[in-house]
Structure 1
Amino acid sequence: MLASRTTLLLLHRWVGLALAAFLVCEGLTGSVIVFDDALDAWLNPDLFDVAARPGLPPQELIDHIEAQRPQASVSYIIHRPPPGRAAVAFLSPRGGAPLAEDEIFADPATGRVLGGRLYGGCCVSRRVLIPFIYRIHDSLALGVFGQWLLGAVAIAWALDCINGFLLTLPPHLVSRRQIALKQWRLAWTISLARGGIRRLFDLHRAVSLWLWVVLFGIAISGISLTLPRSFERVVAYLLPVQGAADDPPAADARQPGNLDRMEDAAWHAARAAGWQGGRPSGLFRFGGTTTFYFSQDGTTRGTGFGSWHVRIDASGRTQVLHPGTGRAGDVVLALQLPWHDGRLIGLTGRILVAVSGVATAMLSVTGVLIWWRKRRSRLSMARRRLAGSGDALGKRRKSDHSVKRLTLTE
């Protein structure tokens, strides 16, 4: 048991040191982007704030935006935002030339474009700060390679969470259960009477225990968001997953006037499936499919398991997707994003995830400090032993020299 515990401790130490810089970065950026919409609006009120008035139908609003940006077409838009907020549209180039601005903000009541930006552009100006932080969190601003790298980090972190939890358990939990459980209760507390490295250790261990479920869930959801296909295959292998419906046939869903009729059809389909809210807040067009998003908070993400989706093509065929329903594997897959950004339980969940992000950075820093102080202590002890050995050797040599002189004198 001692050897296995020593092995776990070594793994925890070196995996923690290897991941420390990544977890500090991901923890702090994650705490920021939990409230990305509010922070972005605070930094850029000229883009987000408008007079609260009834909005245009989606097709008319998109036509107004595309008329002001003739080199692009709208592929995604929040056309029914919360009152007082601008409509947000993402553009795709009509030709091969890249766009100088691919995110546009418009007054939903008139379609007048308020301004735009290159989403995720570099670096720290107020216009792009929040999207850039999101890009850092999502891929370290390294594209696909960064996502793969963070996927590996998330896997290692999830395993290290399990390892760290095992290390908090007393070594004699089975043989001396009552005594061991009393010892384990102490692991959840921080003793202010202790000083130096012991207080650091208490802080590191107690915070990780209190937030363990949240942190482990964030690590798992991090795997699902950076390596989605691999994660889906693993979930489908371990748990039953409802078979995906066939994709709607390819058709031109961008015909003028179609979107308003499609929205009506999508809304009726959602209500027939049990939706009790209002009309969709946003839509996404790709190929021949248009997806409408229904949520109670005026976003396309929603709360709980997320927004309802209704996919519809130009022929009128619809497909209603209600997150959190289906078989066990479907529920697990739907859980990942709302767990990661805290929207699973609304504002409380977002605050908890933001606190957990700061705690993740703190745990990484305290782990490094604990290792550094122990290492410095070991080096100091080794130097003292070496100095003591040198003194003993010097005394022995001096004694031998005195005996030799006495022998020669005699």
Structure 2
Amino acid sequence: MPKQKKNNCQLSVVNCRSGQSLVEIMIGLGLGAVLIGAASLGITFMLRSSASSQNYQKGGQLAGGLFDKVSSWSSGNWQNIYGLIKGTSTQYFLNASGTALFSVQGQEGMLDNDVTSGLVGEWKFDEATSTTAYDSTGDNKTGTLTNGPVRTTSGCQIGYCLLFDGTSTYVNAPATSSYSNDVTASVWFKGGGQTASDWNYWMNSTINWLEFGTFSNGAIFKDNNASGTPSVSAGTTFVDNNWHHAVGIIRSNVMEIWIDGQLLGSRSDYPTGQSHSNVGIRIGGNGVARGWAGYIDDARIYNSALSAAEVGNLYRSTAFIRYFTVENVCRTNNSSSSISGVAPCGGGSINDPSTQKISVYTSWLPNNTGSPQLKLSNYITRWQNQVFNQSDWTGGAGQDGPFTSPGRGYSTGTNIDGQSNPGSIQILDLTP
């Protein structure tokens, strides 16, 4: 890693632990800005003979973009990254709340040619834990998993997905949005079984405006508040235990329903000038008895009418997943303080709390449920430093009374005098 000039440093105790005695002190020299060795980023390609160069290029862009976000996020607050669970078995992605980023356990689904213009709500269901379904647009329409829809990590369409029971399970997103006349609803669904002469909702609204799902006469998109409660039908329910993509659109006086990139139903007598205020969205059911019995993935709502090309992009785009892991880093316990690997540290090495190894993984269909196809790894360092343990204090007798200035009591083998290059201290194994 590049060296940084070690000026304007200060000595401080950064951590204390209880133990038997003052045995070791960890010294970190050269307090400065977060350093990221961008030039040394290493990309490891795990080639698949069937993968195209275009997918590798896009996968590399997505991996690099996530690494840049993680780097910036850690620069704002080191505890953002240091406080995460360490190890390659715990995976994270970043989500936004307004302009702030936060970490989520799981694997984020992405589209190659995504459509984000006009997108005001997107629930990917890519979280690995909790009853929260985050809105990936950053608009804070956070959904709540209600009555136990099951998180599913394999066999989904884009990243992870949810399995609903068809009766009481659903996701409830808050009533924080208002919609104009033009609107688009989009969802991936997979299931089998149709309630006779009743709705099985993929999506519906809390004010009984939007109804989107299957009925006995087919897949239906309906505005239940407009005059005449207009609706359009796809003619069949597509309840066949395969993944399908459904899009419902209102564009001026036209209503449309698209299934798998094909326009299957439309009408041109929709009463224009509609508006809907304080609308909440429910996904997978309404909590009564009109739920979807099957899987749902990547539910979206747009405050605009998508074009035919945009509908095609949502359906045909290659699906990617990406995530990152964090590992503790070991350095040699000598004056060189070189990186020697990741925890657990072997003999002659110690853990460096100011350096973390970040690995970003991406993969794509048809293999995105298997091993990652691209991996990017690098070290993020809070300080450009030297870190080691010391128990030899023969370099000086120390001092009595308050500690008002850095001392010189370091072993001569450390090349530290404590005054020209003061740093920070971590005191280990103390008892009261």
TM-score where L is the length of structure 1: 0.25
More helix by share: 1
Larger-gyration structure (1/2): 1
More strand by share: 2
TM-score where L is the length of structure 2: 0.24
